[in-house]
Structure 1
Amino acid sequence: MATEAAELSYAECLRRLHAAREAAAALPGVTWQATGAELAEGMEALGDLAAVGEGAEVALTVEAVERGEPANASPPLTARDWVAAHHRRYAVVGASRVAVVAQACRDPRHAILRDAVVSGRVSIGTARVALNEMRLLKPHLRPEAVDSVWAGLMTLGERHDARTVRQLREHLLATHGLEGDFDDSEDRARRGQSLSAGREVAPGLFEYLLRISREGRAALEAAIGPLSAPAPVDGEPDLRPHDQRRAEALLAVIGRAQAAGDRTWSSTKAQVFVTISLQDLQRRAGSGTLLGGLTTGELATPETVRRWACDATIIPTVLGSRGEVVDLGRAERWFTPAQIKRLWLRDRHCTYPGCDAPASWCDAHHLIHWADGGATDLDNAALLCQRHHTTVHSQRFHGWVATDDQGRSGVVWDRTRGAYDDALARLDSGLGRAAGDDAARHRR
């Protein structure tokens, strides 16, 4: 198909574009004729057409600008105005997006960007976000890493949306940035921290504006995260909105601090759970990854992690285990704090498919229930938020720990009602859990 497209004349391309428009305009009136599979095929075809169409828009704009068409118009036009004048969708808004991306594609240094956009692999919106991210990142990147970062942004843009591209900034800075730049960014952010004086927004209700650094956010979320989890009473669901629970959790933390006064706190302070390789910690390189709460997946600078590592409660997490017993067999029913920390590392959040409730809101669940002979071991454990913990028990779903091709362990769920009872029957018959795994995967 690519060879055929390359051989088409411009006139033939225009003829086919008009035909495609007529077909798309007629499509809503004939959808009743399609099977389910054909409806999906039609959606995929329109998606492909929209993607390559955006690429063609940029290619046409690049060609027009390089020929001087906008400047030679009467009156002269900017690239943005030229796009708006000839494109129905951009007549009111959006023309500047095409113009900005087209201008960037003309730069020989942006060959990777131009290829990705013109081919339709990366949308105009994502390309614009990538351009802005590169503008912010480039002064802080090692020169030899610039092309690799461009390639990474484009690859990500092919598979994800602009929001995901925007979130990659800190990871790229930590991996490819100039020495010390990631730490410097935290220092600059720390100097910008502020808390406004509250203003009354309703009778008796006040609003504060808080700005804090990555480090401050990690500490705040570690303190209020567990306290802001839904808390049902006598089986009744917690109907408080998420933001209300967080506000009340913050006030509870403040209340505890006030009650302690000048005395030493009676409980351990909130722990920040972070992973980092020993090599990166020693070299002050790379970054640490936060786990457990709403900040899961965010990065911490190596110097910040080194400072946190002075706290004895975090050393086992960063530097490795001190030999805590993590497999208890049938001797104990409840999972220990050491086991729960290991589960945070492995599962990161609720393991129920599609749920990302933070680890600090989750319970440790026996995959084979303790009452049914299950061991209090990590291979028989999974993190589940309260809602899905209830679902798994009530629907009798079955889960097990599996290892992927990269050696990473995770929990797999068979969400067939009664699957847990089938697994128990296999265990009782001596076949073991693995004997039914293939069948279970087909039922999910």
Structure 2
Amino acid sequence: MTEGTTPAASLGYAECVRRFEAAREAAAALSSVLWQASGADLAAGLEALGELSAACEGAEAAVTVEAIDRGEPGCSSPPQTPREWVVAHHRRYAVAGASRLVEIAQACRQPSNHILREAVVTGRVSVGAAQVALKEMRLLAPHLNPDAVDTVWDALMTLGERHDARTIRQLRERLLAAHGLDDAFDDTEDKARAGAALSPGRQIAPGLYEYLLRVTREGRAMLEAAIGPGSAPVPGPDGEPDERPVAQRRAEALVSVVGRALTAGDRTWSSTKAQVFVGIALADLQTRHKATGRGSAHADARLGVPGAGTLLGALTSGDLVTPDTVRRWACDATIIPTVLNTCGEVVDLGRATRLFTPAQVKRLWLRDRHCTYPGCDAPAAWTDAHHLTHWADGGPSDLTNAALLCQRHHTIVHSRRLHGRVTTNEHGRQHVTWDLTRGSYDAALTGLDTGPGQRVSGDDTTWHRP
């Protein structure tokens, strides 16, 4: 505290208002004396104004909360709404912003929003940032573990101090993955999947067509992994630079990927589908459900985001994907998993062969003929080779642990945790039998698990758990 100043706690209301007037007079006179300031003085002056502005906005919110609590707007003559009361007594809000201030003031009056109130009335978080955080919390609250609500409020307020609305919104999925109810993060991907779309191409110029494409997080990661290498600039034969715009290079790379798929026809791919790098905690990879409040909003960066996989490298770096998506990719994509233990150390799950080989896939085509999900006859060329016992749970890349699934049913099998096994009928022909009871995979895995490091045998297959 500067010598001669009065402690803030000892100031009365009238003295506070008098000092507001003095601060206003000083701010009004400042422009006429700026010539007296050095460069360092100008910086210090701007910093002081910033602190004053933040404190004043917090005080505005506090006054509005108090006025609403006392019923002052309704006691006016004629009676006013809270918004009308603010407009009548605050010059700036007479133009715009009164509704926003009243919305935050009303929210601050609720005991459950005590963290929001403290951050706003002290000027730590602006009214604008608080409004964005309030909207985010209203979206998140129904999907959060009750014990994690204050943790999420703390995270939103901390972010609101230094960042804009866009950054606050980007925290949504991370908070949902770390602190959401079981399946909450997974549900966002399921709902998003219904919005995926590819419009019919429309001609916008002679020989030129435009498509509108919407994809999920997973689709974006796979798309970028597929077209990324082919969209890099390519020098000409004499070393001249590639002058194609980025958008053109990406479009041509996508067409090239589709062309290679058409060339493959009904043959298996000579290489796996895409290359995606993802970091995920071992516990998240091996189990679907997460414990209440197990993570912090500011988790150790080495462990990634609790309850999710984090994409590494390329344009999708930092995006989140669900553990189910990572487990499904482990069946049939060149996913490069960085699996971490609780100390952030990379762990080896102990099997050198994770993907099914092209030769194995051909034999699966002959055995299964089409997607093995009951009632689906999608041709083998449209399917993935799925690990019946997931690779992350110790399942080997053997034909006795494999089944063909189209992309849609591959997603359903992982999201619903369905169990399948290879059986032999009375004619000696092998086929895949599915238990469509939700969670049947976990029940089967629990029944087969005899402990780490021991051999576990099923009806038609044998494997080691890691």
Is residue 178 of structure 1 aligned with residue 181 of structure 2?
Answer: yes
TM-score, normalised relative to structure 2: 0.64
1:30 match:
33
SS of 1:275 mapped into structure 2: strand
The 1:11–1:139 alpha-carbon spacing in structure 2 relative to 1, beyond 3 Å, is same
SS of 2:310 mapped into structure 1: strand
Is residue 139 of structure 1 aligned with residue 159 of structure 2?
Answer: no
2:215 match:
212
The CA deviation at 1:81 is 2.7
Structure 1 unaligned spans of 5+ = 325-444
- Which one has a larger percent helix, Structure 1 or Structure 2? 1
1:280 match:
284
The 1:33–1:300 alpha-carbon spacing in structure 2 relative to 1, beyond 3 Å, is same
1:358 match:
none
1:412 match:
none
Separation of aligned partners in 2, 1:312 and 1:247: 22
Separation of aligned partners in 2, 1:306 and 1:118: 46
The CA deviation at 1:155 is 1.9
1:131-155: CA deviations, max 9, x gaps? 1111111111111111111122112
Task: Report 1:88-167 matches (<5 A).
Answer: 88-167=91-170
Conserved? CA contact 2:274–2:335, under 8 Å: no
The CA deviation at 1:76 is 3.2
Task: Report 1:37-76 matches (<5 A).
Answer: 37-76=40-79
The CA deviation at 1:273 is 1.2
2:314 match:
293
The 1:23–1:292 alpha-carbon spacing in structure 2 relative to 1, beyond 3 Å, is same
303, 314, 330: which one aligns with 1:309: 330
Separation of aligned partners in 2, 1:166 and 1:316: 27
Task: Report 1:179-194 matches (<5 A).
Answer: 179-194=182-197
2:273 match:
269
1:7 match:
10
Letter matched to residue 59 of structure 2: A
Q: Which moved more, 1:34-43 or 1:19-28?
A: 19-28
Separation of aligned partners in 2, 1:174 and 1:223: 26
Separation of aligned partners in 1, 2:6 and 2:213: 57
Separation of aligned partners in 2, 1:241 and 1:86: 54
The 1:58–1:259 alpha-carbon spacing in structure 2 relative to 1, beyond 3 Å, is same
The 1:33–1:106 alpha-carbon spacing in structure 2 relative to 1, beyond 3 Å, is same
Separation of aligned partners in 1, 2:153 and 2:41: 37
2:451 match:
none
Separation of aligned partners in 2, 1:164 and 1:3: 38
Separation of aligned partners in 2, 1:83 and 1:201: 51
Point out which structure has higher relative CO (alpha carbons under 8 A, 6+ apart): 2
1:33-65: CA deviations, max 9, x gaps? 221211111111111112111111111111121
Separation of aligned partners in 1, 2:6 and 2:186: 50
Separation of aligned partners in 2, 1:204 and 1:23: 66
Structure 2 unaligned spans of 5+ = 291-306, 340-345, 353-466
Letter matched to residue 87 of structure 1: H
TM-score, normalised relative to structure 1: 0.67
Residue correspondences, number? 324
The 1:212–1:179 alpha-carbon spacing in structure 2 relative to 1, beyond 3 Å, is same
Conserved? CA contact 2:278–2:311, under 8 Å: yes
1:354-379: CA deviations, max 9, x gaps? xxxxxxxxxxxxxxxxxxxxxxxxxx
Conserved? CA contact 2:272–2:332, under 8 Å: no
Task: Report 1:212-251 matches (<5 A).
Answer: 212-233=215-236, 237-251=241-255
SS of 1:276 mapped into structure 2: strand
Letter matched to residue 143 of structure 1: P
The 1:11–1:235 alpha-carbon spacing in structure 2 relative to 1, beyond 3 Å, is farther
Letter matched to residue 271 of structure 1: Q
The CA deviation at 1:122 is 0.9
257, 260, 266: which one aligns with 1:256: 260
Q: Which has the larger radius of gyration?
A: 2
Conserved? CA contact 2:280–2:337, under 8 Å: no
Separation of aligned partners in 2, 1:231 and 1:68: 70
The 1:205–1:69 alpha-carbon spacing in structure 2 relative to 1, beyond 3 Å, is farther
The CA deviation at 1:207 is 3.8
SS of 2:278 mapped into structure 1: strand
